């Protein structure tokens, strides 16, 4: 994967969002703002991307996004349940049409047999539904984070296309 893929996907997400007047919000953990950075690098993105939260700590996930402490204690921060709660919180917080969340273990520490390095959960909250995805990306910290951004942008593009009747940019 190269950086050009991310630029193209971000441009397509912004183009489709502008065309159909859809707004986006984010809740990022392991990507640390890279996803927001990819979107805001596109001229005109302010018409689509309203904001996000980099919720690296569980305290921020709880206080800003409304992720229940009990959920974190039961499932952990790197889980589908947490990703879904983060996406729902970001959607509610920013009053956006679509909100995407990403949480994972980029490494080099933090992995376990149940959740190895490269484990990433994604979730998308819209007015119609909530979706979750799991991936285990290979590579070092930078590679896992960039693969996560690419995957998240592709999911946003698919969701925008679905929300707008399947039209691609």
Task: Map out the domains of the chain as residue ranges.
Answer: 3-163
* pLDDT number for residue 1: 46
Predicted pLDDT of residue 166: 63
How high is the pLDDT of residue 94? 84
Rounded alpha-carbon distances, angstroms, from residue 126 to 38, 92, 109, 144, 163? 21, 10, 33, 26, 9
Q: What is the CATH number of domain 3-163?
A: 3.90.950.20
What's the mean pLDDT when you consider all of the chain? 95
pLDDT at 162: 87
Residue 132 dihedral angles phi and psi, to the nearest 5°: -135, 150
All residue ranges of the chain with pLDDT < 70 are 1-2, 166-169
| Euclidean distance between CA atoms 56 and 97, whole angstroms | 24
Q: Are 165 and 22 in contact (CB under 8 A)?
A: no
């Amino acid at each position: 994967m190269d950086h050009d893929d991310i630029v193209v996907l971000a441009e397509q997400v912004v183009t489709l969002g502008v065309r159909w007047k859809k707004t986006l919000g984010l809740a990022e953990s392991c990507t640390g703002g890279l996803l927001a950075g990819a979107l805001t690098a596109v001229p005109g993105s302010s018409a689509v991307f309203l904001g996000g939260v980099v919720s690296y700590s569980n305290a921020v996930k709880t206080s800003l996004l409304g992720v229940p402490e009990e959920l974190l204690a039961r499932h952990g921060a790197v889980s589908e349940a947490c990703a879904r709660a983060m996406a729902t919180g970001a959607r509610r917080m920013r009053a956006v049409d679509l909100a995407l969340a990403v949480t994972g273990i980029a490494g080099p520490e933090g992995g376990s047999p149940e959740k190895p390095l490269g484990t990433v959960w994604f979730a998308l909250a819209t007015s119609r539904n909530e979706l979750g995805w799991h991936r285990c990306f290979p590579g070092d910290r930078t590679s896992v984070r960039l693969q996560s951004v690419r995957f998240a942008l592709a999911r946003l593009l698919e969701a925008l296309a679905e929300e707008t009747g399947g039209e691609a940019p």
